[in-house]
Amino acid sequence: MTPFPLPPGSTIGILGGGQLGRMLALAAARLGFDVAILTPEADSPAGRVAAHVIVAEYEEPGALKTLADLCQVITFEFENVPAGAVLELQRLGAEVAPNPRALAVAQDRLEEKTFLNQAGIPTVGFVPIDSEAELRAAFRRFGPPLLLKTRRGGYDGKGQIWVEKADDSAGALAALGQLPAIAETPADFRREVAIIAARGRDGEIALYPLTESHHENGILRRTTAPAAGPPRPHAEAERIAATLLTALNYVGVLGLELFERDDGRLLVNEFAPRVHNTGHWTLDGCGVDQFEQHIRAVAGWPLGPTAATHHVEMTNLLGEEALTWANLAREPETRVWLYGKRDHLPGRKMGHVNRLSALDSPRR
């Protein structure tokens, strides 16, 4: 049994080698931990700042054994880690957080929305779709339009398509590769908001302020934090986040994306069982950021303060936008975060900037 709280000098394992793993590793290092990264990618963003790197497929038995032997606790930085890898780590006696159930629920949109509704958390209407007949039946039940999404593997707006009428059903299913899917009703939102939530090993909950998300082409472009507006959606989002963390018996940080309707009511779109892009503002806008918070939670440390210290506008640097780093570095109230990725491919998340302003000043 791993003794908690983990003392500095312990090793924390992370499945995944992307930018989230990189920022987790940096936060862990600041608290005196070593990090071991398991990733299939040689020369990964996280691997280059970690004490140990294992380059292997996630389900490679030898790699999992090495990781389990090396680490006192193991976590993950993206939600498409094969569930089998996490279960194997547990079988090897490793301590894994968040728990594999949370990962499994988040990996499948049908299970996710079903779980949320069972916990009393509202979502858009949805039905599972495995055939053209089922999609046509969904049109009869809900009316047009419907948003068809693959149950698994979608991200950044990929794996989903609006279907305007029942006669487009066959084409839409073909466009998504005939994969198991769900059909969703339109959310009719006035804005998209998000909340980063954390739960410690002792059940303590810490919630960051609600933020506003701006997407372009399905990718998060900007986050403004804290979100402007009346307190009601903030309180409602906090209630939802706390309910979800408890229902999942969760340990770590979780990102929750929501739709805000015209009347202020919130619907959950989805949650990610990990640190999240909508929480990058916390790196410069809060006492303890989401990455340190996650490390604290999985290591059994007390959670840190989450109140905003600044207004932040977080903007993702996509593709060649990251090449403007020299100009960005000249802006005194701008904090630059670059992920060390080699190729500036179009749309790829290369870094982000946090533009700060005083909490009591008008928003940019």
- Tell me the one-letter amino acid at 31: L
Residue 79 vs 292, nearer CB to ligand AMP: 79
CA 53 to chain centre: 23
Residue 215 vs 232, nearer CB to ligand AMP: 215
Q: How far is the CB of 147 from ligand AMP (least distance, A)?
A: 5
Q: How far is the CB of 328 from ligand AMP (least distance, A)?
A: 26
| CA–CA distances in Å: residue 97 to residues 90, 180, 251, 284, 306 | 10, 28, 6, 25, 21
User: Does residue 124 bind ligand AMP (CB under 6 A)?
Assistant: yes
Partnered with residue 224 across adjacent β-strands are 212, 313
Q: CB of 270 within 8 A of CB of 109? A: yes
User: Does residue 153 bind ligand AMP (CB under 6 A)?
Assistant: no
Q: CB of 25 within 8 A of CB of 85? A: no
User: Does residue 186 bind ligand AMP (CB under 6 A)?
Assistant: yes
User: Does residue 290 bind ligand AMP (CB under 6 A)?
Assistant: no
Length of the chain: 364
Phi, psi dihedrals of residue 207, rounded to the nearest 5°: -120, 135
User: Does residue 184 bind ligand AMP (CB under 6 A)?
Assistant: yes
Span from 12-20, 183-191, 232-240, 307-315 in contact with ligand AMP (CB under 6 A): 183-191
d(CA 101, CA 103): 5
Instruction: State the number of CA atoms in the 13 A half-sphere of 271 facing the CB.
Output: 35
User: Does residue 8 bind ligand AMP (CB under 6 A)?
Assistant: no
Q: How far is the CB of 181 from ligand AMP (least distance, A)?
A: 12
Binding string, 266-285, against ligand AMP, x = CB under 6 A?
A: ---xx---------------
**Binding footprint of ligand AMP on the chain (CB under 6 A):** 124, 147, 154, 157, 160, 184, 186-187, 192, 215, 218, 257, 269-270
